[in-house]
Structure 1
Amino acid sequence: MRQNPSFAMTDVAELRRLIDRHPWMTLVSSTPDGLVASHYAVLLDEDSDDLTVVGHVGKPDDLLHGLGDRELLLVVQGPHGYISPGWYGDVQSVPTWNFVSAHLSGIPEVLTPQENLKVLDRLVERFERRMPEPRRMWERPNDPAYVERLERGTVGFRLRPTRVVAKRKLSQNKTSDVVETIIAELSGDGPYADPALAAEMRRAADARVRP
Structure 2
Amino acid sequence: MRQNPSFTLADVTEIRRVIDANPWTTIVSNGPDGLVSSHYVALLDDDRDDLTIVGHVGRPDDLIHGMGERELLVVFQGPHGYISPGWYGDVQAVPTWNYTAVHLAGVPEILSDEENLAVLDRLVDRFEGRMPEPRRMWERPNDPAFVTRLASGTVGFRLTPTRVVAKRKLSQNKSAETVETVIAELEGDGPYAHPGLAAEMRRAHEARTGGLR
Place the TM-score, normalised by the shorter chain, in its bin. over 0.9
Matches within 5 A, 1:72-111: 72-111=72-111
> What is the correspondence of 1:25-174 to structure 2 with a 5 Å cutoff?
25-174=25-174
Shift of 1:48: 0.2
Give distance in 1, aligned partners of 2:146 and 2:11: 41
Q: Is 1:15–2:31 an aligned residue pair?
A: no
Q: Deviations over 1:37-57 (max 9, x none)?
A: 000000000100000000000
> 1:197 is matched by which residue type in structure 2?
L
Match of 1:178 in 2: 178
SS at match of 2:37: strand
TM value normalised by structure 2: 0.98
Cα distance in structure 2, aligned partners of 1:27 and 1:53: 12
Quick one: distance in 1 between partners of 2:19 and 2:201?
Answer: 17
> AA paired with 1:37?
S
Q: CA RMSD in A?
A: 0.6
- Aligned counterparts of 1:147 and 1:69: Cα–Cα separation in 2: 28
Kindly state the Cα deviation for residue 206 of structure 1 after the two structures are TM-superposed. Answer: 1.3
Note the alpha carbon deviations across 1:173-203, whole angstroms, 9 max, x for none: 0000000000000000000000000000011
What's the TM-score once normalised by structure 1's chain length? 0.99
Deviations 1:1-30 (A, max 9, x none): 000011000100000000000000000000
CA apart distance, 1:209: 1.9
| Greater than 2 Å deviation, 4+ residue runs | none
Corresponding residue for 2:203?
203
- In the alignment of these two chains, the number of paired residues is 211
CA distance in structure 1 between the aligned counterparts of 2:49 and 2:140, rounded to whole angstroms: 33
**Percent identity over paired residues:** 73
Deviations 1:137-176 (A, max 9, x none): 0011000000100110000000000000010000000000
Q: Tell me, what secondary structure is at the counterpart of 1:150?
A: helix
Give 5+ residue unaligned stretches, structure 2. none
- In structure 1, list runs of 5 or more residues that go unmatched: none
SS of the residue corresponding to residue 87 of structure 2 reads helix
Structure 2 distance, partners of 1:71, 1:176, is: 41
